[in-house]
Structure 1
């Protein structure tokens, strides 16, 4: 061997050894993908012959697929459990609006845990765990964020897109690192493109990318090129007679399904771009991809025979797909049917990267790594609790617990005897068709004892009893925009003009300017009231015509925990603002 060849050989050996050491010592990249209101049946790999999801179908063939996986019946609770490994009520999340979609800042998120291992972290899409300090993504461990506000684009809380109506998903004003920024294009394309940019920028260090699509949530808006593929489809036909129930669809539901399928195909195309970028950057082998959905479908369509929709504790509302693609450790396709849940994602990621779970709070989830390695011992006697009601949980109304293949469902009132519950053997009856409570009453009572114990524990959680507060007048956020999604008060605050509402806040002492925006322009002859605890300020307006905004400037307020209660009294009405801007001088 020549001297030059020896040198080349030594260099090559050095490179291989150090490259292998880099691979072994460098934590894997993690991409967590979640879609919004995409039901269990909205995929090719779950049996839907009408929808085109080739990218996700291929991912399923190359992943560990959890076929008995559960989430919460609605989005904010699912997202809080996903981020923390804890039942949502422990985190302060109790609703999707009504002031109940704000997660306590003391919670430890996946992003915060990964920061301990020097991950760079980014979120793109839907957050829905608080729009103000100290509950924003930037307050909970994310270095980069491109998000919309509240539960959905075009909804009242996302006031930068609300007035765009049937174009709210196109050319939106989003929030980039807490600042409003205009974007061009369709929302799902934007969120995927921003995620790809983040990955390209950080390809040489461990990254955590949370790609949280708001589609196919309502409003059902999609680029026409995708809709045209489904416009003539009858989504109720073409299913194989396999014993699965198929629930009737109205004509409006069929049209909704066409739009949903178009939105889902667009997501699939965007994921193809994302996965192709990983290959191009040659980081696909050291990147873990986790895919799930947040709850059942909002509209009736194919749900693989499952009973119930979004918001319901029946299987159609809470069963979701989970795919974990971990090429360094697990090759090919594998299916796991043990009871698993969104609670398990944080503990799984923590084990993968070698992070200890917080020991000062209860973590309800379990790492899925033992299951993926063939050890089901820790999951044999596992139970899963689910509920959904507006504002706060209601005893025995839309509540369930499942364990060892059995599921107890409460669709009754707080004093109901066990005979009024529903009991299903999911092993033999996965579609919840046969209520066995009359013949298996003792099993029902057994499950109800555990349901009662957990319910009592959760409703006494500190973050539920002492709800998270929006903090106003601090340097981390100034000005502050208070939106209707986070307004408490009368149940069901949405786009109404005459409704009682307020925001629970922690206020720093100082001098403030307030600007009030209304759903519609209001008459300019009335009185604007601002109540902040014991301090009430008012200003009279006596001009002509109508106005869009009302300002109250130079209001001095002490530091306190209080409620901000604004209303405009005019023509015998008390009109609640659409949003409030608060600037501390």
Structure 2
């Protein structure tokens, strides 16, 4: 009896040790999100203007995801990234959440931070939130994050950390101007005033490194969501901001706006390098999933007061052309079975796929209602993508939508020119500052356009129209024509493929929820809250 008890106890202790090892062998997870970074705003895509040595080095030691798709705007992409749902499943498909709106990710949706927290992870958010904050339940610490350092809104000043409401006049004395910089933790919501004058990209990196240092030698896995402000435009009075020493790196770019943008990108790159170096130096890199991505394509030629570049892809932020939705993305996954470092993946991946991918990597059951699919096995083994189609977006307010089925993209409707200064959202825009612009060609581009770019005067090539359907619609073979030169929607041999794509888009329309995009709540305005942006109501009901 005694011998049996000893064996039982030893076996039980061994099981506990085994269980503990299993629990804490879960991979750490770090998401690094750049804001509005264009396809041609990184060196490894062949840019002849910007310098991104750290991101390029990471590209050489990770998987380059060259068919990684995001939404064409900030809030929808971030919502998809953290929920595993299409934006149209959340009511966030129309536009971004602006200051003072009573909108957020619905509370009946579970975020990746909540899944991981419930599995024993420590969870930290750093940087831009932009997923709702009208009630505390919608803020990061109400959505599964232990701590949050950063800002709630869409944009702000990089140095004084104030944010202004775009829909009101913009002088700083205006009622819609307020501080938006904070540290939320331990149930407290603390505004930060003493970071005035410090560049936000540097501050966010300092916080990220501090978070990482707390897990050096720790057995507890962690999730850090690091969403940089860069390179999104700031407030309208001074939309482009970078430290002067970073701007001075680019005397060859004669256009001052693009030169400042290059400085912003260069500073971002240096800070991304600091985070990646910290993972190495702290001994965390080997067991950490690292995803670097942009939230949407770059805004070009003053779109949203920004000067990014997606060349040679067509389109800008806001648009459903490739320049708006095919995003820069790099991934590094622990494990010897993963794709070889430096490999280039053409696997079709949507930003919503990262929730199920991470859950599978962590051994957590994947909920069946997600729109995203796990790409873990595909990335680990280099196999086919787990998806053959994806929804780019459905916006019932503008009737502008797009779906990808195998190689084919169908776009229905057209986003209106001129909004936010986006007069060239359907163009193939080379970045300003090249001499001459007509000679701008990326070095070793990763996208082969397979044809001659249409002239800017060739309106037939630029127009999205179908004579067959008698409506605004266009269709492209993205594999053969990634730069969307040739609209194939009316070709006779495309009839069956066209009808299949239309049927799939109709399916997604049937399952889409109505968009929520109300006017700002006047009770949110900063003068009512000591000239700060804060959660302003206990009522968690969203407005439509």
TM over 0.5: yes
Name 1:579's counterpart in structure 2: none
Name 1:404's counterpart in structure 2: 406
Name 1:371's counterpart in structure 2: 378
Whether the 8 Å CA contact 1:51–1:261 is kept in 2: the answer is yes
How far apart are 1:377 and its partner, in Å?
5.1
Q: How does 1:539-550 map to 2 (within 5 A)?
A: none
Structure 1 residues 224 and 91: alpha-carbon distance in aligned structure 2, compared to 1, 3 A threshold: same
- Distance in structure 2 (CA, Å) of the matches to 1:34 and 1:376: 26
Whether the 8 Å CA contact 1:62–1:333 is kept in 2: the answer is yes
Aligned residues: CA RMSD: 3.4
Structure 1 residues 72 and 209: alpha-carbon distance in aligned structure 2, compared to 1, 3 A threshold: same
- Distance in structure 2 (CA, Å) of the matches to 1:125 and 1:560: 23
How far apart are 1:326 and its partner, in Å?
2.0
1:212 to 227, 236, 241: 227
Which structure has the bigger radius of gyration? Answer: 1
TM-score of the pair, normalised by structure 2? 0.73
Structure 1 residues 201 and 24: alpha-carbon distance in aligned structure 2, compared to 1, 3 A threshold: closer
Name 1:530's counterpart in structure 2: none
Name 1:135's counterpart in structure 2: 138
Structure 1 residues 262 and 255: alpha-carbon distance in aligned structure 2, compared to 1, 3 A threshold: same
2:487 to 429, 435, 442: 435
Q: How does 1:141-290 map to 2 (within 5 A)?
A: 141-154=144-157, 155-157=163-165, 174-177=181-184, 178-182=189-193, 183-184=195-196, 185-203=198-216, 204=218, 205-218=220-233, 219-234=239-254, 254-290=255-291
Name 2:398's counterpart in structure 1: 394
Q: Deviations 1:284-335 (Å, cap 9, x if unpaired)? A: 2122211100011112354231000000000000001221112433352222
Structure 1 residues 114 and 164: alpha-carbon distance in aligned structure 2, compared to 1, 3 A threshold: farther
Structure 1 position 310 matched with structure 2 position 317:
yes
Whether the 8 Å CA contact 2:348–2:385 is kept in 1: the answer is no
Whether the 8 Å CA contact 1:47–1:304 is kept in 2: the answer is no
Structure 1 residues 100 and 72: alpha-carbon distance in aligned structure 2, compared to 1, 3 A threshold: farther
1:358 to 363, 367, 373: 367
SS in 2 for 1:210: strand
Whether the 8 Å CA contact 2:299–2:309 is kept in 1: the answer is no
- Distance in structure 2 (CA, Å) of the matches to 1:224 and 1:115: 41
Structure 1 residues 133 and 423: alpha-carbon distance in aligned structure 2, compared to 1, 3 A threshold: same
How far apart are 1:368 and its partner, in Å?
1.3
Figure out how many residues of one structure are paired with residues of the other and give that number.
434
SS in 2 for 1:402: strand
SS in 2 for 1:39: coil
Whether the 8 Å CA contact 1:125–1:211 is kept in 2: the answer is yes
Whether the 8 Å CA contact 1:287–1:326 is kept in 2: the answer is yes
Name 1:342's counterpart in structure 2: 351
Tell me: higher relative CO, structure 1 or 2? Use CA pairs within 8 A at least 6 residues apart: 2
Name 1:540's counterpart in structure 2: none
Q: Deviations 1:107-139 (Å, cap 9, x if unpaired)? A: 111111111221111111111001132110001
- Distance in structure 2 (CA, Å) of the matches to 1:558 and 1:264: 39
Structure 1 residues 562 and 430: alpha-carbon distance in aligned structure 2, compared to 1, 3 A threshold: closer
Structure 1 residues 387 and 341: alpha-carbon distance in aligned structure 2, compared to 1, 3 A threshold: same
How far apart are 1:419 and its partner, in Å?
4.5
How far apart are 1:559 and its partner, in Å?
8.7
Contiguous gaps of at least 5 residues in structure 2: 1-16, 158-162, 234-238, 302-307, 416-464, 532-536
Structure 1 residues 517 and 338: alpha-carbon distance in aligned structure 2, compared to 1, 3 A threshold: same
How far apart are 1:563 and its partner, in Å?
7.6
Structure 1 position 66 matched with structure 2 position 120:
no
Contiguous gaps of at least 5 residues in structure 1: 1-17, 166-170, 235-253, 468-485, 494-500, 504-513, 520-547, 550-556, 565-585
TM-score of the pair, normalised by structure 1? 0.68
- Distance in structure 1 (CA, Å) of the matches to 2:109 and 2:123: 17
- Distance in structure 1 (CA, Å) of the matches to 2:76 and 2:263: 26
- Distance in structure 2 (CA, Å) of the matches to 1:67 and 1:563: 38
